[in-house]
Structure 1
Amino acid sequence: MSVSNPTLITFVIYIAAMVLIGFMAYRSTNNLSDYILGGRSLGSVVTALSAGASDMSGWLLMGLPGAIYMSGLSESWIAIGLIVGAYLNWLFVAGRLRVQTEHNGDALTLPDYFSSRFEDKSGLLRIISAVVILVFFTIYCASGIVAGARLFESTFGMSYETALWAGAAATIAYTFVGGFLAVSWTDTVQATLMIFALLLTPIIVLLATGGIDTTFLAIEAQDPSNFDMLKNTTFIGVISLMGWGLGYFGQPHILARFMAADSVKSIANARRISMTWMILCLGGTVAVGFFGIAYFSAHPAVAMPVSENHERVFIELAKILFNPWVAGVLLSAILAAVMSTLSCQLLVCSSALTEDFYKTFLRKSASQVELVWVGRAMVLLVALIAIAMAANPENRVLGLVSYAWAGFGAAFGPVVLISVIWKNMTRNGALAGILVGAITVIVWKHFELLGLYEIIPGFIFASLAIYIVSKMGAPTSGMLSRFAAAEKDFRLNQ
């Protein structure tokens, strides 16, 4: 690996820019609210692009293109489900959660919101939800670190062990220093880089394979069923892929963007920006994997790396088809996807440990400066645990992401969604929803029942548990009045 390597130089410049943004954000971070929620100051553009970038991760440029490359368009049901789920999340949850968290103790984290919304004096709701965040997010962080390691391994010929640390170091640095503002500002840059890469790459692949007609003929010649949306799948298979969309309602790193918006008025514009970005990115991702089938069937001599690991299809196309300097920018988009999601996840874990454990149970009188530094220490702790979990080079990005996504979607999704639209939900209903959702995902995953993605039964059973248990009790007058005030605020300002 030469220091004159254009890709290496591009990576170094990109990483340096992200760390610089971290230090700029450091100067605006004065208290815990600034560190974990940016002082609720995000405008619509940053809210939109940060929500998108924090969502997609390395899965967008590695996991999904690889799945499309291997199986054809039948894997694109995931993208359709995600688009529907994300839109409904923006429509029903985003604005309401923004006002509900403000009316319920100006909550900074989801456990904080649950505790205030349902007047949980025991702390049980806060503890259980914080534990769910730490368990599933540590798995999710590990998936990001695996994706980063794969990128450095294949781009620079590093060993997996070295690549593991190289891929994680920059993200840890700017998250540690700048907190939420650094994460949100870098997300905006990273989202721009990702959409550039995903719009440009499929166009160049099409040109390299002789245009759209020639490309489609080559894909059909390789296997006509690549065009079949129902290839090797069943009704349960399609429902499972579409079920990914349910996960949006419960992802803490995405919900934190809604909570951090400067006002409800920003949400509608943010929704339009975010959905446009998402549709273009997912369309580009599917196109990269699909057109890659034609390219590598026509160029078998360079297909070996993709045959060994189909998640490298975007990486190999970028390296083969582009000038090394442009390839460096495109490959930086993978790093952007990995860093944007990993940084958000590290910060949410840090927030749970700092706000929901340290401040609540250990040091109620801790100063803001102390809490910020505890938050930074927790970023390092969670990162080290995730790196240890990612140490197995046999890990696959999509498998790790699907488990964590289901865990959050089922444990938190119904609780968040129902808590912002139904005034009669109770504390015991919320507790039942979180426990039933999380346990269902773990059990269903272990036994692989019916071949159905575990998020679907988890979401359904958790929703039923919330309704049934809430009907057994009644919300307090304080809960009802805060809900009504927040709903009125939302309707007046949306």
Structure 2
Amino acid sequence: MAEVQIMMWIGLVLLLIIIGYLGYLGYKKTNTVSDFSIAGESLGPVILGLAYAATFFSASTFIGYPGWAYQWGFSSIWIFLTLIIASPLGLIVVAKRARKMNMTQKSLSLADWLGDRYNSDFIRVGTALVCLFNIFYIAAQFAAGAWIFNTLLDIPYTIGLIIIAVLVVAYVYTGGSYADIYTDAAQAVLMAIMGVLVFISVFWMFPGGLTEGFTSISQTLADRDPSMVSLINPSSIVFYSVPAIIGAFIIQFAFSSQPQLFNKVLALKDPRDMRKMIMVYVFASFCFILVIFGGLFASVTVTVDEIDQAILSYVLQAFPPIVAAFLGIVVIAAAMSTTDGIFVVMSTLVANDIYRKFLVPRGYVKATQEQADRTALKISRYSVLVVGVISFILVLNPPASIGMFIWIGISGVASGTLGPLLVGLFFPNIATTSAAKISLVSGVGAYVLIIILNFEKSTMAAGAWAVLVGVFAMLVAGYMTKNKEASLDSDVRETM
């Protein structure tokens, strides 16, 4: 273990040097709020494809999801299928059309895009407030990083929490979206290597390689508990029924339009390169999520007290110390790669969507355009500090499952935004402002009600049902109001 700790510290120092340099480059390029938010729409498809994948797959992929497989067995492989099928489909459906429309809108975030699309401050500010749910997502990444410091470096959880929070806040504060995307692309390469390494460990950890190895795992788990090899495990908090599984596919589709991912789409320099960006994302994603199988391998090789420690303990047993240290660095990178993107988005919500696009134009704050732009950049950076402190406080007591904690944020955001987004893109003739307002309120309201009433124990499924409520409300309200107010039909056709 001492050898792992030494290598971990060396790797951490190297990672900090790389991140520090990339953060400095980002700082030199960040002169406006547009630079801070979407890197001035100036980046290419390869770096953005890697950054999108790294942002999409957080520390929960490398810690939380293997923990599910360790605890509930083969039913957790559904998460692998949702990530490789539903998530890319969501990106394909939304990305190209949204980026092309933004060539005329010049929006800086999801809230800004919806506000501009519907010409509504209510939608802009309402979406910005809904996106604050993602504080839970940031907090979960902090917790994952803290567990790494605790397990591999024997640093108390609280001290590890302070370290990871300070690291992320520091380089996002300085470099904004440039720092976010540059570091994410570099971290994606590390994450892909780790996913592949964990998967191929089956060849030396289990006699007979892939086929016989999985047969041996299946038999061991079946002897322990038959539900561990079932496609539906009643004990699971995620995949305990067919509706819950369907809900997981729906919410993973919706996840592709999360604000921290949407701003990567807006940052693409040439919309014609969207196909290349998606191909890079899908390839990197497949490599990442192979790590989930490590949870199954761990279920028959190690015993842990906390399910989120399963993959860490397995790697310590299956690999030499240098690889275990590498995993620690990868998980920290994964936590950073998602957290920095959400930080950028949430600071943009306050600085651009609320201050620059609402408070100043409405006259609530007196400022010239030039003054507003300078102040917005300052607010973007200060917002990072505030969000960091709140997220830190949320996980001072570590959550029972990081994998489920993040979905509080994801589901809350998706429930209010997917209806106006999808209908605005694909059914512009009924995409009225009134319908978008109704969809936003009804989707979020449904999600909160489902949680309060404990109607669904899976936050993924709860989010899925709320998303469906929001989309249905948007379609019905749009149809009923399409003749009473102007829809987006003509505007959308001009951009297609």
TM-score over 0.5 for the alignment? Answer: yes
Structure 2 partner of 1:393: 398
The residue type equivalent to 1:426 in the other structure is: T
Of residues 417-426 and 323-332 in structure 1, the stretch that sits farther from structure 2 once superposed is: 323-332
| 1:143-162 alignment, distance < 5 Å | 143-162=140-159
Structure 1 partner of 2:438: 432
- Among 255, 269, 274, which residue is 2:276 paired with? 269
Structure 2 partner of 1:219: 217
**1:309 has 2:306 as partner:** yes
- Among 126, 129, 136, which residue is 1:128 paired with? 126
Structure 2 partner of 1:416: 421
Structure 1 partner of 2:264: 257
Of residues 177-186 and 155-164 in structure 1, the stretch that sits farther from structure 2 once superposed is: 155-164
Q: Deviations over 1:439-462 (max 9, x none)?
A: 111111222225561122211111
Contact 1:146 1:395 in 2 (8 A): no
Would the alpha carbon gap of residues 442 and 212 (structure 1) be closer, same or farther in structure 2, given more than 3 Å must change? same
Contact 1:206 1:291 in 2 (8 A): no
Post-superposition offset of 1:470: 1.7
**1:486 has 2:495 as partner:** yes
Structure 1 partner of 2:119: 119
Q: Tell me the percent identity.
A: 22
Contact 1:46 1:188 in 2 (8 A): yes
Q: Secondary structure at the residue paired with 2:481?
A: coil
Distance 2:317 2:20 in 1: 29
Of residues 311-320 and 224-233 in structure 1, the stretch that sits farther from structure 2 once superposed is: 224-233
Contact 1:432 1:469 in 2 (8 A): yes
Post-superposition offset of 1:394: 4.2
Post-superposition offset of 1:214: 5.1
Would the alpha carbon gap of residues 24 and 321 (structure 1) be closer, same or farther in structure 2, given more than 3 Å must change? same
| 1:329-368 alignment, distance < 5 Å | 329-359=326-356, 360-361=358-359, 362=365, 364-365=367-368, 366-368=371-373
Contact 2:202 2:213 in 1 (8 A): no
Post-superposition offset of 1:474: 3.3
Distance 1:147 1:313 in 2: 12
Residues paired across the two proteins, number: 473
Post-superposition offset of 1:326: 3.0
Distance 2:198 2:468 in 1: 39
Contact 1:215 1:294 in 2 (8 A): no
Distance 2:200 2:103 in 1: 45
Contact 1:19 1:173 in 2 (8 A): no
**1:441 has 2:447 as partner:** yes
Structure 2 partner of 1:490: none
The residue type equivalent to 2:25 in the other structure is: M
Listed as ranges, the gaps of 5+ residues in structure 1 are 297-302, 488-494
Would the alpha carbon gap of residues 473 and 70 (structure 1) be closer, same or farther in structure 2, given more than 3 Å must change? same
The residue type equivalent to 1:457 in the other structure is: W
Structure 1 partner of 2:199: 202
- Among 276, 285, 290, which residue is 2:291 paired with? 285
Structure 2 partner of 1:184: 181
The residue type equivalent to 2:436 in the other structure is: A
TM-score normalised over the length of structure 1? 0.91
Post-superposition offset of 1:227: 3.5
Structure 1 partner of 2:89: 88
Structure 1 partner of 2:362: none
Contact 2:456 2:462 in 1 (8 A): no
Structure 2 partner of 1:461: 469
Q: CA RMSD in A?
A: 2.1
Post-superposition offset of 1:427: 0.9
Listed as ranges, the gaps of 5+ residues in structure 2 are 235-239, 360-364
**1:42 has 2:51 as partner:** no
Q: Deviations over 1:84-116 (max 9, x none)?
A: 222222222101111222322x11122222221
Structure 1 partner of 2:237: none
Q: Secondary structure at the residue paired with 1:287?
A: helix
| 1:374-389 alignment, distance < 5 Å | 374-389=379-394
- Among 228, 231, 235, which residue is 1:229 paired with? 231
Distance 1:430 1:477 in 2: 13
Would the alpha carbon gap of residues 196 and 185 (structure 1) be closer, same or farther in structure 2, given more than 3 Å must change? same
Q: Secondary structure at the residue paired with 1:449?
A: coil
Would the alpha carbon gap of residues 64 and 434 (structure 1) be closer, same or farther in structure 2, given more than 3 Å must change? same
**1:75 has 2:76 as partner:** yes
Post-superposition offset of 1:371: 2.3
Post-superposition offset of 1:249: 4.6
